[in-house]
């Protein structure tokens, strides 16, 4: 019988706008007790937006944690209380790429760093695209963000060459390539996202979950 890793106690150590850190006391096998530090996260969405020319929309954004610019899919936090994953993805596609899509499906659900972090991401495939005005960004990395259309085959090659490193982008690129080449089936947008984190959303009042 599988062991029940019951939480015996939990202590919030650090609370910041984007993340929080807590320490959980766990009942381990053989009547042992252990402590695990967990980075709480709101969850995220990302969009593999592919146009009729077989190009995928990508952004080039500075990421201070690795001190370099990374090629990524349009993506963002689920930081609006009670906002659906699809609505979040649609919002991010407009904000980061200036695009709307008439056709949506689910490519993948990802646990990005399960050893210590709650972060999960749902990656969508967006098709039948229309250009719209992108809101102007001020004062953060998005104000310095570049945008490009890249052939999907070329994006796959860039992953294998080590030129695209963001894990969500890697997953979305390969999943989109599989589906659009007839090697897999995307899911309907109504598929439940059971992995979406709830710790921060439960503890904070809305609508902006970044406010503490």
Question: Which residues are designated catalytic?
Answer: 142
Determine the distance from the C-alpha atom of residue 105 to the mean position of all C-alpha atoms in its chain, rounded to a whole number: 15
Backbone angles phi, psi at 88, to 5 degrees: -65, -40
Q: How far apart are CA 186 and CA 35, in angstroms?
A: 38
Please state, in angstroms and rounded to a whole number, the distance separating the CA atoms of residues 10 and 12.
7
Whose tokens are 């106690």? That residue is 9
CA distances from 113 to 21, 167, 197 (A): 14, 10, 13
């Amino acid at each position: 019988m599988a062991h029940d890793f019951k939480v015996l106690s939990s202590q919030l150590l650090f609370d910041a706008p984007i993340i929080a850190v807590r320490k959980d006391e766990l009942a381990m096998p053989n009547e042992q007790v252990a402590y695990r530090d967990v980075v709480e996260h709101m969850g995220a969405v990302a969009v593999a937006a592919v146009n009729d020319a077989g190009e995928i929309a990508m952004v080039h954004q500075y990421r201070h944690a690795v001190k370099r610019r990374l090629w990524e899919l349009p993506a963002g936090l689920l930081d609006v209380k009670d906002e659906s994953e699809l609505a979040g993805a649609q919002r991010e596609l407009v904000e980061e790429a200036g695009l709307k899509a008439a056709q949506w499906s689910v490519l993948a659900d990802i646990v990005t760093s399960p050893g210590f972090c709650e972060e999960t991401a749902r990656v969508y495939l967006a098709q039948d695209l229309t250009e719209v005005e992108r809101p102007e960004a001020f004062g953060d990395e998005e104000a310095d963000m570049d945008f490009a259309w890249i052939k999907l085959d070329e994006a796959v090659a860039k992953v294998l060459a080590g030129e695209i490193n963001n894990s969500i982008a890697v997953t979305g690129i390969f999943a989109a390539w599989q589906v659009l080449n007839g090697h897999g089936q995307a899911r309907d947008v109504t598929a439940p996202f059971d992995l979406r984190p709830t710790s921060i959303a439960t503890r904070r009042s809305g609508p902006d979950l970044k406010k503490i």
